[in-house]
A and B are shown apart, each in its own frame.
Chain A
């Protein structure tokens, strides 16, 4: 189990890098060492001179030096007008570099929602796209039929940012020769067939429809505060963040940042509803039964929950 890695930052904020640096047990340096991963280049951490880096890129692009894992963070910027000149490196569009290295790598990994689906720039003038998806649509920058040297499509690790344990786990599995099964969205099922709602410490409030309509309380944030945990695929409340918590546990509604449509056009912190009932119901739920269940659940809610006495 070993291999080389090149990390490219395209149209993004660097948050996936700093999230990765927060990996724990093993931490990032340990994980790289234990996994035999040689980082040929990481823009935030590597020390090579510009001249050395140019040579490295030339060798990798020409196939003169093998590349096992190509990680891309940030969206591929195609604007303006398809030129890619909103994101350049030494006067040339960075998207050309993305393409050159993607064609040479055994595995291509999209780290974060921008690289996976387009993310923040996906509907904007910068004409951003994910590596193999634009929003929900397969295709993206590299095309629907793209496969990397090892015969896999782009492995998408969405999340704004990507959870470090997902990244470390995926890289380790790929290099160990046991690629994780992927969903239709190109995400490893292992981590993305869990809803953010699962494991939220507000779940008992949710069960009994004890819902908040303003900030500050212990209740559920789904009915009124815009929480998308019940519709969002991601391991936030299973793995937790920075070893400690998650947004929903700490009172911040889930914004659905692992989803292809993030950021959605509708206002955050507000649930779109009809007569007080959310338009979007938890994944796979039947509306009629849901309404009956929620009515009964609210009636059965214990006083301790109605009084928000239970800590979350």
Chain B
């Protein structure tokens, strides 16, 4: 006889509020719904405000990707102003963005994601005691080390932007201030120090040795080569993921999207834009983005491009199958995931590509792509800082007044981030944001297709419904960030009771 239960759980250690409703049949997830349960209405706050105000308001969309929102807002205004930032400003913007990414990647991998391995559900694993020793919240050796060391990357941001989070140092035409030799040198030393620590503690080897790991077989031989590799935080994370079966679960929809970011001034650290669908790369076309609302708490409408999107709330409980404040963005009609895994596949990263070719886009591949991304971003930070000329220009004053429409696309730590902005008569007329988590945690679309996290949950084994740690592993491999549910609502519309997991 088939056993069928529904597990409704709020999941923490994602940013913001996410609730999962999973139907479990004979110990395996048969279907899942993911709900964003907080609605902040930030796009609406922007309409009618001053032309530059997105630079102040949008970083506050997200306390963990605030510089990414700033970068997207500034990029949209660059387009509207018709001025590109000078190379020095590009280097400073990239440094801020990449430092934010690197600290987020390391913290998410070894503080918020790895904590699940200290869950008693894994108590029988031979690695459990070591996982607890390193990854138990507030106490684990790695947790303490990571929090201490990653702060130095935020010092880099503060030297250039004044503070982290929530600075507004990027403006159309560049950055607000020219850092001097003192700041650039200090920032470079801090970045060097973090890279040295990341190599010693996280990787257990130098970056060039790690770069030689290009296949799954080479990953295995790297683990066997030295206790320094096997027992590094990354080595342990790899072993824990495999031990828990994450290399066999959490397969996403198989479509991937990257808007591209960190285009530099010749330093070669650019993250390419592109799509990766059914194992094939294609160029990115912004016009192919559309947002669906059939399963989101908004009034019915056909799928629309964000530059024409509208947001009319229609909170109805589960009536009509609506269950989330997130809309469902789709690319070229496809369900796609975004984030470090997508970036690695679009860029053709050899190890990540090999793992996905062999086993599909598993929770392990997704998490590994994030944990190893700093091996690329940290050296790039050093190059940008070394290339910035303290005597050069960091800002080009835009001619005339800001007027018109522009889109700012970038990569946040969690993936593709876009701001679609229209300015009229010095005032924001329209502001639409699609965050990475809007892609990854999206609900079903008009065709009833599940969002990426929902799709990844299907097929996940759940041993103990009272402690469904497997759901946590899969959802957290996406590094979801739900505070970004930014869409607009208007007062006085019909609003009914909203029930989750009923």
Task: List A residues at the B interface (Cβ < 8 Å).
Answer: 9, 11-19, 21-22, 24, 27-29, 32, 39, 43-47, 49-51, 53, 77, 79-81, 83, 85-91, 120-121, 123-126, 160-161, 214-216, 236, 241-252, 255, 257, 263, 265-270, 311
* 0 or 1 for each of B386-425: is its CB under 8 Å from A? (1 = yes): 0000000011010000000000000000000000000000
Instruction: Check B37–A87 contact: CB distance below 8 A.
Output: yes
Nearest Cβ on chain A to B364's Cβ, whole angstroms:
20
Instruction: Give 13 CB contacts A-B under 8 Å.
Output: A45-B115, A51-B467, A53-B12, A121-B40, A126-B489, A215-B173, A216-B174, A216-B395, A241-B163, A249-B162, A252-B161, A263-B45, A311-B180
Query: Who on chain A is nearest to B494 by CB?
Result: A80
* 0 or 1 for each of B38-78: is its CB under 8 Å from A? (1 = yes): 11111011000111110111001111101000000000000
Q: In the complex, A120 Cα to B501 Cα: how many Å? A: 29
Query: Who on chain B is nearest to A312 by CB?
Result: B177
Q: In the complex, A258 Cα to B180 Cα: how many Å? A: 29
Task: Write out the residue numbers on chain B whose beta carbons fall within 8 Å of the beta carbon of A216.
Answer: 174, 176-178, 394-395, 397
Q: In the complex, A80 Cα to B164 Cα: how many Å? A: 32
Q: Which of A53, A87, A161, A252 has the most CB of B within 10 A?
A: A252
Instruction: Check A47–B119 contact: CB distance below 8 A.
Output: yes
CB-based A-B contact count at 8 angstroms: 256
Q: A14-B63, A80-B495, A89-B37 are in contact. Are A250 and B178 (CB under 8 A)?
A: no
Q: A49-B119, A50-B9 are in contact. Are A268 and B50 (CB under 8 A)?
A: yes
Q: In the complex, A29 Cα to B11 Cα: how many Å? A: 23
Nearest Cβ on chain A to B367's Cβ, whole angstroms:
17
Task: Write out the residue numbers on chain A whose beta carbons fall within 8 Å of the beta carbon of B178.
Answer: 216
Which of A39, A87, A126, A244 is in CB contact (< 8 Å) with B158? Answer: A244
Q: In the complex, A241 Cα to B162 Cα: how many Å? A: 7
Instruction: Check A245–B41 contact: CB distance below 8 A.
Output: no
Which of A44, A244, A267 is in CB contact (< 8 Å) with B50? Answer: A267
Closest 7 CB pairs of A and B: A267-B50, A15-B63, A251-B177, A250-B162, A241-B163, A242-B158, A247-B162
Q: Which of B44, B45, B57 has the most CB of A within 10 A?
A: B45
Instruction: Check A251–B162 contact: CB distance below 8 A.
Output: yes
Nearest Cβ on chain A to B142's Cβ, whole angstroms:
12
Instruction: Check B499–A91 contact: CB distance below 8 A.
Output: yes
Interface residue? B498 (CB, 8 A): yes
Instruction: Check A268–B55 contact: CB distance below 8 A.
Output: yes
Interface residue? B483 (CB, 8 A): yes
Q: In the complex, A79 Cα to B41 Cα: how many Å? A: 11
Instruction: Check B169–A18 contact: CB distance below 8 A.
Output: no
Interface residue? B147 (CB, 8 A): yes
Instruction: Check A44–B171 contact: CB distance below 8 A.
Output: no
Q: In the complex, A160 Cα to B57 Cα: how many Å? A: 11
The secondary structure that dominates the A interface is: loop
Task: Write out the residue numbers on chain B whose beta carbons fall within 8 Å of the beta carbon of A255.
Answer: 56, 168
Nearest Cβ on chain A to B324's Cβ, whole angstroms:
11
Instruction: Check A22–B151 contact: CB distance below 8 A.
Output: yes
Interface residue? B155 (CB, 8 A): yes
Instruction: Check A85–B147 contact: CB distance below 8 A.
Output: no
Task: Write out the residue numbers on chain A whose beta carbons fall within 8 Å of the beta carbon of B466.
Answer: 49, 51
Instruction: Check B13–A43 contact: CB distance below 8 A.
Output: yes
Instruction: Check A250–B161 contact: CB distance below 8 A.
Output: yes
Instruction: Check B147–A47 contact: CB distance below 8 A.
Output: no
Interface residue? B500 (CB, 8 A): yes
Instruction: Check A45–B177 contact: CB distance below 8 A.
Output: no
Which of B63, B138, B144, B493 is in CB contact (< 8 Å) with A19? Answer: B63
Q: In the complex, A266 Cα to B11 Cα: how many Å? A: 38
* 0 or 1 for each of B377-389: is its CB under 8 Å from A? (1 = yes): 0000000000000
Q: In the complex, A12 Cα to B41 Cα: how many Å? A: 11
Nearest Cβ on chain A to B180's Cβ, whole angstroms:
6
Instruction: Check A120–B42 contact: CB distance below 8 A.
Output: yes
Interface residue? B231 (CB, 8 A): no
Nearest Cβ on chain B to A244's Cβ, whole angstroms:
4
Which of A39, A120, A252, A267 is in CB contact (< 8 Å) with B168? Answer: A252
Interface residue? B209 (CB, 8 A): no
Instruction: Check A251–B52 contact: CB distance below 8 A.
Output: no
Instruction: Check A245–B502 contact: CB distance below 8 A.
Output: no
Task: Write out the residue numbers on chain B whose beta carbons fall within 8 Å of the beta carbon of A44.
Answer: 12-13, 15, 112
Task: Write out the residue numbers on chain A whose beta carbons fall within 8 Å of the beta carbon of B11.
Answer: 50
Query: Who on chain B is nearest to A114 by CB?
Result: B60
Task: Write out the residue numbers on chain A whose beta carbons fall within 8 Å of the beta carbon of B180.
Answer: 311
Instruction: Check B489–A45 contact: CB distance below 8 A.
Output: no
Interface residue? B167 (CB, 8 A): yes
Q: Which of B64, B111, B488 has the most CB of A within 10 A?
A: B64
Q: In the complex, A157 Cα to B361 Cα: how many Å? A: 43
Which B135-169 residues have a C-beta within 8 angstroms of A? 136-139, 143-144, 147-148, 151, 154-155, 157-169
Task: Write out the residue numbers on chain B whose beta carbons fall within 8 Å of the beta carbon of A251.
Answer: 162, 169, 175-177
Instruction: Check A242–B37 contact: CB distance below 8 A.
Output: no
Q: In the complex, A302 Cα to B42 Cα: how many Å? A: 45
Interface residue? B358 (CB, 8 A): no
Q: In the complex, A14 Cα to B479 Cα: how many Å? A: 14
Task: Write out the residue numbers on chain A whose beta carbons fall within 8 Å of the beta carbon of B52.
Answer: 267-269
Nearest Cβ on chain B to A157's Cβ, whole angstroms:
15
Q: A15-B166, A215-B171 are in contact. Are A91 and B161 (CB under 8 A)?
A: no
Instruction: Check A247–B38 contact: CB distance below 8 A.
Output: no
